[in-house]
Structures are given as C-alpha cells and as structure tokens.
Homo-oligomer: A and B are copies of this chain.
Amino acid sequence: MLGNFSYQNATKLYFGDNSLQYLNEELPKYGKTVQLIYGGGSIKKNGLYDEVVALLKANNKVIVEDAGVMPNPTVDKLYEGVKIARDNQVDFLLAVGGGSCCDYAKAVSVSIYCDEDPWEKYYLRGEEPTCKIVPVGCVLTMSGTGSEMNGGSVITNPVSKLKIGHVFGEDVMPKFSILNPRYNFSLPKRQMVAGIYDIFSHICEQYFSGEDDNTTDYLAEALMKSVVHSSLVAIENPEDYEARSNIMWSATWALNTLLAKGKTTDWMVHMLGQSVGGFTDATHGMTLSAVSLPYYRFILPYGLSKFKRFATEVWGVREEGKTDEQIANEGLKALENWMKQLGLALTISELGATEDMIDGIAEGTFILDGGYKVLTKEDVKSILKSSL
C-alpha cells in the first residue's frame, strides 16, 4: 500500500529545442560570479560552450572555468572544484553536461562552505549538509541519471575503489534545468544506450520492491514502456527528435523522487554496478546492464508475482497455459532480447572485470534491504560470477 510520505520538487524545467534561451530568465536571479562546470570539451566542439558563454556574458556574469569533469567524478576533482569556488567566491554553479557534471556540481555546492572533508562527511558517513549551499543550475547534454531534477550525487574515490552516491534533499536539487533533446544527438551510440539503460534501471529498481498494486507501479510500467518504445526508434535513428525527447522526459521522471513515494525500493543493481565501476571505471549504464539479468534471475523466486506482472504489463507476455514462473522468466527473456538489440554489456568481463576482482567488488558492494531478498556477501559473489 501507499505509505506515508511528503513530496515536493521545485526544480524548474525548460524543455525543448529552444530551451537554452531561458538562461536569460534564470541567470538574473543569482549572483555575479558563475562557476562554469563541464567535462572533456565536447561542448566546445558542438558550439554549446560558445552559446552558454555568450548568454552568461549577456547577463553580465563573471565566468570561472571548471573543466575536465570526468564520467565518474573523483574525490580529487571535487577538492579541485571546491578550491576554484572558494578562490573565486562563486555565487552560482552552472553545470553543462551529463549527469556526471550535474552530480559533481551538487557535490561542490554543499562543500564550499563546509569545514569538514566532503568525501568523508557526505559520502562515507552519509550526513546531511549543515552549511550554506551554493545554488546549482544545469544544462543537460545527456539523458540518463535524472540528476537534473533530483538531489543525487555520485562520487568515486579511485584509491579506495569506492563509488558512492548520496541523495541530498530539496535544497541541493538544481534550481532549474534546461533539457534540449538535440544536445543528445551527437553522443556516441554506446553512450546513448548506456544512458537509456540507466533510465530503465532506475525505474526497475524502484519497481521491483513491495507486493503492491499501487499507482506508482502503473506509472513505473508506463515509463518503462515509453523508454523501450523510443529506444528502438533511437537505435535506428539517433537524430529522431521525438524518440530522443521522450527518452529525455522519461529519464527525468524515472528518478525525480515520484516513483519512490509511498513504497520501498531495491537499488541493488546500482550497488553492484557502482562497485564494478569502482574497479573498472566502466560506463555507469553498462555496469548496470551487466549485472541486471544475473541479479534479477537470482531474486525472481522471491518476488515472483512482481516479475510476472513485469512480464505481462511491460513486455506483453501472454499468460495462457503457462505457470507463473514461466511467465516471469519470459519477461526477463524479453528484457534480455531488448538489451541485446541495444548492444548493452551483458557481462562484467566485457567491462574488464576479472575473476580475481570478484572478492573486491563484493566487498565494495553496499547491501541494501529493500528488495525481495536481502543478499549475503556469498550471494553477491555468486551473482557477480554468473556475470563473468
């Protein structure tokens, strides 16, 4: 049943192919010095950097550069970003990039006025901010993480091989996000499908928990069907605006808190995938796809009715003459077929993981208790081995 909860999400979204112009409405609301956060420079090649800089200048902003945010933002990069912010007393953080840039901007936002070590405080100890938070805005160039409308922020420590997410509250969510589906067009196909699987996994990991037949389950199924439908169009034609716009919109709603309201959630695929990422630095979405089927096949007996529902509602599996197990397994088979059509990684070996890493990856996997079975470390190892 729907449990008790509160809901509020005040992030303002500007969606569409002219949405960048709305920086002119948003920028005047914030202070003069803007830390411009971006990644490896693809926005310089496609012209977006120049457009954003022109809009910042037109709004009389002082621009402080913070480039080089990597796909899995590191603790060292976080320290660097905080130093840039402090040295320049920035008033606003504008992330132009994918979820990594947006995650990183949030991490910086809660660390500038924080005396403690942010990695230890927020990520290792999971504490909430008690300092002033510098506001964040986002111009999204890759759909997937949902970071544009939530408080999530994942940071990686390459030394300890730990990749940890913290979900901050309302105060840390972007004040606004600009979503232009066209910015996704130039992504390499591998990045596109990794993002698509990240979206799908966000939905699944909230869906596969609890036995209820509530509104949220129906909404989750709707978003899964929309992602599957549009992904099959986009894989054939990455510049199909309609498909990319629906994937972008689904991504936002897949992880902007709605699907978790009033119910339990699982998140073990992310825990497994993040630990694989800590050891391999592989693309986030690919780490999720590689561990998903082994994980779901492992827990299927414990959540049979939901896996059956997944099969019939999301994949249109017909029930006649089949046992519940057969129906549920046909659902996972349909999921597997779709993953193959997209060209997703189906094993962690493909991502560079080797048998000798299994113990370490298992050690780095946080075990959560919202799913259909609480895993033991031996279960984790067994799942990882079946993904080699």
Contact = CB atoms under 8 A, between A and B. Distances in A.
A169 to B, nearest CB: 12
A218 interface: yes
Which residue among A10, A212, A241 has the maximum number of chain B CB atoms within 10 Å of its CB? A10
A273 to B, nearest CB: 24
A382 interface: no
Contacts of A1: 241-242, 245
Contacts of A229: 213
A11 B7 CA distance: 8
Interface string A9-30: 1111111111100100000000
Nearest to A249: B215
Nearest to A11: B8
A229 B226 CA distance: 21
A14 B22 CA distance: 31
Contacts of A12: 6-8
A75 interface: no
A81 B241 CA distance: 49
A305 interface: no
A368 to B, nearest CB: 23
A16 B8 contact: no
Contact of A253 (B4, B16, B215, B242): B215
A25 to B, nearest CB: 9
Contact of A8 (B13, B221, B223, B246): B13
B6 A9 contact: no
Contact of A222 (B5, B22, B221): B221
A249 B16 contact: no
A231 interface: no
A321 interface: no
A64 to B, nearest CB: 27
B223 A218 contact: yes
A369 B253 CA distance: 29
Contacts of A370: none
A183 to B, nearest CB: 14
B262 A249 contact: yes
A300 to B, nearest CB: 24
A3 interface: yes
Given A8-B10, A8-B13, A216-B249, 5 more contacts: A5-B15, A7-B12, A7-B15, A215-B223, A221-B222
Name the 5 nearest CB pairs between A and B, nearest first: A4-B16, A222-B222, A218-B222, A8-B12, A1-B242
10 contacts: A3-B16, A7-B12, A8-B11, A8-B12, A15-B262, A16-B262, A216-B249, A218-B223, A218-B225, A245-B262
Interface of A: 1-19, 22, 181, 212-216, 218-219, 221-223, 225-226, 229-230, 241-242, 245-246, 249-250, 253, 261-262
